[in-house]
Amino acid sequence: MLMRFSELKRWTMLTGLLVSTPFYINAVHAAGLNDTGITTCGNIDTNGLPCPVAGFPGQDAEFGTNGFDFTKLDADGNELPATATDHTCVRDNVTGLIWQVKLSDSEFTFDQTAGYVTSVNATGLCGFNDWRMPDVKELVGIVNHGKTDPTIDTNYFLNMPSDSGFWSGSPLAYDSYGAWGVYFYDGYAYGYDFRYFDFHVRLVRGGQSFDTFVDNADGTVTQSNTGLMWAKCSEGQSGTNCTGDANTMDWSAALTAANNSNLGGYNDWRLPNVKELQALVDYSRYSPAIDTTYFPNMPSGADSWFWSGSPNANYSNFAWNVNFNDGYAVSNGRYDYFHVRLVRGGQSFDPFALTVNKTGSGAGLVKSGDGKINCGSNCSSDFESGSSIILTATPDTSSGSTFSGWSGACTNKTGDCTVTMSAAQTVTANFNLLPSYKLSITKSGNGTVTSSPAGINCGTACSKQFTSGTAVTLTAKADTGGTFSKWTGCTPIATNPLQCTVTLTSNKTVTVALNNGALGDLKITAIALTPTSPAANSIFTAKITVKNQGTVTAAGGYLDVWAHQTAVQTCGAQAEWIEVGSLAAGASKTLTVSLRSKGTGTKTLRAFVDSWCQTPEADEANNQLTKTYTVK
């Protein structure tokens, strides 16, 4: 018997996945495998024994780290101590993946998971918006097979629900209506046939690992993305095409066969742990669910169960198996007879250091996609062998810096930098200051010129260096009794001739002419309406008195009048208008404008003398006056 009915019954099976759904797609990223968390050995019917155990050599707990390496992160993605209890996300330092910690209060059908991913990305969880559904291997990666109910580290993954079925984003290759899930009560990976069941979702972000193999032409195959070396053939088979029948044996015999093998001249073969064995599964295939280019003549159908070296923590006479007909990862009795495929290579992989240097005259920040490098302050971190790290450079624009490119181990020299961690690597980001140019002000007459951005106040500071490409606005103000005449070397602003703009692409000089002497000063002193409360949609007149308060004759320009306008107007505004003409110093003139009332209620009449701002004045701010009246 391969699986107990009660275990299968615990979950009926899940839905199909639309493989084109975009949030499941991510960059290729080779990653290490987590250990299983199993720390003791077993015999035919007992767990918790110290290793080694006679007759059961080379079990899971005798290799690898037997633990996990997690880091807690706060809501902004910053690291927290292991004792923190308010963390929002967890970074897996072995795989480089970042996991969601706080789960939704709701469960989801499979079809609802896409909307949930979108909603979480909209919140920027832990500072990221590239969250996705995990594939089934990633989800099994955080299972702790050394414990049960739940099979996960609850110091890092808080408030684990007792009903602990979780969707993955991996479709069933053998059923277009199904997908894979993981049950965290016992760690089993199941394929589910129906998408309308409600299960939990735990999102992940970071690059996905994709299987790559190298045939070593000596009966072994290297899995490049994990660093493991595998026997090409199942035990009992041989040759390039793995001819012959694959043997089956109980768990003790399987462990012993691995321990005694000298395949390819190596003497450190063992049974793979359950995560390593599952890493061989190709979930895009079935019958068999493995790449037969590298592993030919694979047993399939009901005769496709393979032993791992991992005892089941929940059942003292069970050990973990993987079915290579479809990819199920479950456990069965240690007395059952299953196939054997050997593996060698450490279960923990030495990381390589990635170091970021910054050069050039400028300043900026370099970050890795997983946040482990933030340079800034943290310019070096360890990454798993074979992992693909993406670095982003951001120049400090406030200092006039620009990013000019990468050197070192990057695969590209501009844009984001991609580094493959095949060894310790060094990358240099080059930040340079943009060139700066001098803006000089030459002034005739008495007055001041100021700038935006700040730096010129001429008066005293009549030149300033600005970063190349900076657009500078200059404002002239004549001293009392003086007038503004003209700009040279910049572009006057049509609505305010006292201002002009200049863009610094080289050293530039701007000249302003300010005339000394007396000025006119136009002011509206009175507004009288006839009738005082006009009827709706009728013609009424406004008599507007303009006075030149200055000491010299001034041209009044245009007088523009609005029947209803509450907003202060700017130079160049237009309404009903009349030409004022010249006004001697101290003289007043009353002008009559006909207007049409509109609507009923309280209105605001606005008058604006010299509305095109053509006349230099001692006070440019007193040219408008309003009068409130009622339309019946």
CATH number of 332's domain: 3.10.100
CATH number of 459's domain: 3.10.20
CA distance 262 to 271: 14
Q: In the structure, what pLDDT confidence band is assigned to residue 482 with cuts at 50, 70 and 90?
A: confident
* Same domain as 474, residue 421: no
Residues 356 and 342: beta-carbon distance below 8 Å: no
Quote the pLDDT of residue 2.
34
pLDDT at 511 over 90: yes
Mean pLDDT, the chain, as a whole number? 88
Quote the pLDDT of residue 247.
96
CA distance 343 to 575: 88
80 occurs within a structural domain: no
Q: In the structure, what pLDDT confidence band is assigned to residue 166 with cuts at 50, 70 and 90?
A: very high
* Helix segments in 271-416, DSSP class H: 274-279
- Over the stretch 298-309, which tens digit does the pLDDT of each residue have? 998 888 999 999
Quote the pLDDT of residue 519.
74
The encoded tokens of residue 616 equal 């230099």
Q: How many domains does the chain fold into?
A: 4
Beta bridge partners of residue 464, listed in sequence order = 439
Look-up of token digits 């997983």: 370
Percent of the chain with pLDDT over 90: 69
Pairing assessment for the beta strands 436-444 and 305-311 based on DSSP bridges: unpaired
Nearest alpha-carbon partner for 451 in 459, 482, 615: 459
- Over the stretch 485-499, which tens digit does the pLDDT of each residue have? 889 999 999 888 899
DSSP 163: S
257 occurs within a structural domain: yes
pLDDT at 28 over 70: no
The encoded tokens of residue 377 equal 């302050």
* Same domain as 591, residue 563: yes
- Of 494, 515, 536, the last residue of a domain is 515
* Same domain as 440, residue 372: no
Asked if the bond preceding 531 is cis, omega within 30° of 0, the reply is: yes
- Of 515, 531, 551, the last residue of a domain is 515
- Over the stretch 261-291, which tens digit does the pLDDT of each residue have? 999 989 899 999 999 999 999 999 999 999 9
Residues 410 and 418: beta-carbon distance below 8 Å: yes
* Same domain as 511, residue 459: yes
CATH number of 382's domain: 2.60.40
Q: How many CB atoms lie within 10 A of CB 430?
A: 19
The encoded tokens of residue 74 equal 């706060």
CA distance 122 to 24: 16
Residues 391 and 419: beta-carbon distance below 8 Å: yes
Burial class (CB within 10 angstroms; exposed 0-12, middle 13-18, buried 19+) of 250: middle
Percent of the chain with pLDDT over 70: 93
What is the Cα 278 distance to its own chain's centre? 30
Question: Strand, coil or helix: what is 400?
Answer: coil
- Over the stretch 328-368, which tens digit does the pLDDT of each residue have? 999 999 999 999 999 998 544 457 889 999 999 999 999 99
Structural domain including 300 reads 233-341
* Same domain as 289, residue 384: no
Quote the pLDDT of residue 517.
66
Quote the pLDDT of residue 386.
62
* Same domain as 573, residue 505: no
Distances (CA, A) of 543 to 200, 404, 526, 538, 559: 77, 66, 8, 17, 12
- Over the stretch 434-474, which tens digit does the pLDDT of each residue have? 888 999 999 888 889 999 999 999 988 899 999 888 999 99
* Same domain as 587, residue 554: yes
Q: Which of 109-113, 281-285, 512-516 has the lowest mean pLDDT?
A: 512-516
pLDDT at 226 over 90: no
| pLDDT, mean of residues 498-522 | 88
Quote the pLDDT of residue 27.
27
- Of 399, 433, 467, the last residue of a domain is 433
Which helix (H) or strand (E) segment holds residue 140: the answer is helix 136-141
* Same domain as 427, residue 367: yes
CA distance 520 to 549: 7
Quote the pLDDT of residue 6.
28
* Same domain as 600, residue 557: yes
- Over the stretch 570-604, which tens digit does the pLDDT of each residue have? 988 999 999 999 999 999 999 999 999 999 999 99
- Over the stretch 200-220, which tens digit does the pLDDT of each residue have? 999 999 877 778 899 999 999
CA distance 105 to 116: 12
456 occurs within a structural domain: yes
- For residues 409 and 629, the model is more confident at 629
| pLDDT, mean of residues 174-180 | 89
| pLDDT, mean of residues 303-326 | 95
* Same domain as 336, residue 261: yes
606 occurs within a structural domain: yes
498 occurs within a structural domain: yes
83 occurs within a structural domain: no
| pLDDT, mean of residues 558-562 | 96
* Same domain as 417, residue 477: no
Quote the pLDDT of residue 481.
67
pLDDT at 24 over 60: no
Q: Which of 223-237, 476-490, 523-537 has the lowest mean pLDDT?
A: 476-490
539 occurs within a structural domain: yes
* Same domain as 254, residue 323: yes
Nearest alpha-carbon partner for 34 in 486, 301, 384: 384
Q: Is the pTM of this model over 0.85?
A: no
205 occurs within a structural domain: no
CATH number of 609's domain: 2.60.40.10
